[in-house]
Structure 1
Amino acid sequence: MAMLKLPDAQGGLVPLTLSTPKSHPVEPAAYNRKVLAAAHVVADPLADVDPWLEPAIDWDRTIAFREHLWDLGLGVAEAMDTAQRGMGLTWEHSLELIQRSVAAQKARGGGAVMACGAGTDHLPPSPDLSLDDVIAAYEEQCEAVEKAGGRIILMASRALAACARSPDDYGMVYDRILSKVAEPVIIHWLGEMFDPALEGYWGSSDHMRAMDTCLDILARNAAKIDGIKISLLSAEKEIAMRERLPEGVIMYTGDDFNYPDLIEGDERGYSHALLGIFDAIAPQAASALTALGKGERARYREILDPTVPLSRHIFKAPTRFYKTGVVFLAYLNGFQDHFTMIGGQESTRSTLHLAELIRLADAAGALSDPERAAARARPVFAARGLEV
């Protein structure tokens, strides 16, 4: 029986006996939602680099994690913010990641689903940029993704947010890019809680006014759009937009706070999913999707609802640091042998945050092997001055 003594806010060490995990039967053929997990990258802790300045990636473990997601029938959203895009992962490394992942996808055959982030992150944001500069940057990445054989997720642009003067500027840029893509794309509206540099995206800091601009762009370009992922952490805003989408354009929830409700839906509709939390809880997500697809809604909620407190903790403000919790869980569950991240991002969450993450992961059944999780947690807390 695995036990830890985890620190609490009062300065004490509170015993926790880790529970035996439940089995999670998975039948991908039963899924009735499109689901992609935004996958993290595994750092190479032995590379001779300056971690804050140059990313070093363990390619074998990184691709193996994508194979794990595909084995569960989940799609992969590649080179997104979960992979530290714009927070340590450069466009150069993102493109290599995309190329390697596409090769792994093709090797598996037709069952592996993937879409890849294309943005402008190689273009430093500045109010002095022109819209043509932004368009050229988008075109470069879109062409590279298509050349690699990948589908495009059109990521929000820090450069566009920095130089756009009106909602019409957003329309002009997106119209131009969408006119040239070979296959329908997923649009990604990433809120400022995930990336403060995207404040005021679509030309307004009022999300509902911004939504109007975005919906106009979607309507004009519906034939070139598969769906839109919004990450605003507001079920109400997502539903309001979902109900106004043009015919043929679907909603992918990016709401890591309210995903069980949004994916289940109601008589008025439902969302598909493109979620960072599904990296961390992939077996639970796959099992819940199996139950939902079979019409077993109570079972779906029984599996997925206990993961919500864990997700809300991982994605708590400052939300942009959520990757630390995702990678910590990957380490505890044996998908990598260390808790090291590119850019030194393992340091962005406190010792108490990690302790609470273990408690919530245990309650959610998200620790696949309690003995291994406990053994791996101890050196992390020892490095922070605690014997747990």
Structure 2
Amino acid sequence: MTRTDRILGAILSLAVTAVGMLWWTTPSSYPFGARDRVTVSLSHLMEHAVAGPMTVAAGLVGLALVFAPLPVVRVGAAAQVLFFGVVMSDAGIMSALAYGMALLGPVVLVGVVVLACVRGRPSGYAGLAALVALVSAGAFTGVISLDIVTLTAGNIVANFASYAGRLGWTAANAAAFAVWLTIAVKAFGSGERPRLLRPESVARWGRVATIGAALCPLPYALYRLTWLTPWPTDSALTGPHMDPGTRLQGVVIAIGALIGAALTLGLVSRWGEVFPRWVPVYRGRPVPVRLPVVAGGLVAGACCLASTGLAVNAVERGELLQLLLWPYPLWGALLAAAVAAYWLRRTAVRLSPKDLPAACRE
């Protein structure tokens, strides 16, 4: 645990202690519990009289860990990760990430396809054909039009604005989770790596984890892509004439899920190590290791933070099939393992300059 980690942990723990005291003594300041707008969580089952003391305890434990020896830090940091990642987490972080991708994903996808076509790549033409087919199906069913696109984008922005305060608490909890996770990883990562984390083992389980992680978002994507057809899923709940704006909103999130699945496969592909030839400016250069690790780690963390809330909500509603449609617990674990394998492999073996031309041709 470095000096910077200790300072960051101390600042975070002081803030957590203060927030816990506020919740404990001032019920109206407590954002969770029965009046919480986000019910896909465990915290909506706890009122301030329970969550307040627990949060204070988490802050005081964090302050104690700042001065503790390494073995104690390992145990305490793991406990903090569980508290912020399980007890106080909710699915809001995943919703924010999904709707953010819904706004930016289509723009990025079109840009990538256009660049690939300009470079004459077969994958670009295949992507263009898929986009044309998708837009044609949307236009045929009345899901895609300029008015509906504008309405959908406005609805997403309005939802963000409506939940801004609540999402602030979600983001704060995610930040605390990230800090203690970083400290825990560093604490457990000191010393000799176990056999499972050595380069000769990483390639074996890393590929399995990556393929599994890429498959996890596909059920939801396929489920929502039926909204492009005259027979959309959920029609029993929303009526036979589902609102076109609602349909488009589901479709763009599905597209984001498909993009995520494709990018996940980059963790075990050559183009995940070296930028392809059709990428301007960066073509032929090694992909910075931190770029896929940070992006993949962000999604993996969001899945893990949403897992508890999804499981609790599925049990409360008696709809356990939600866990098959949104397999956040499995997805988060597999994606975290895939990202870790990528990191271990890339940091153990660096590409030499003579490898780059061959990598660029693949």
> Normalization by structure 1: what TM-score?
0.23
Structure (1 or 2) with the greater strand fraction? 1
Larger Rg: 2
> Normalization by structure 2: what TM-score?
0.24
Structure (1 or 2) with the greater helix fraction? 2
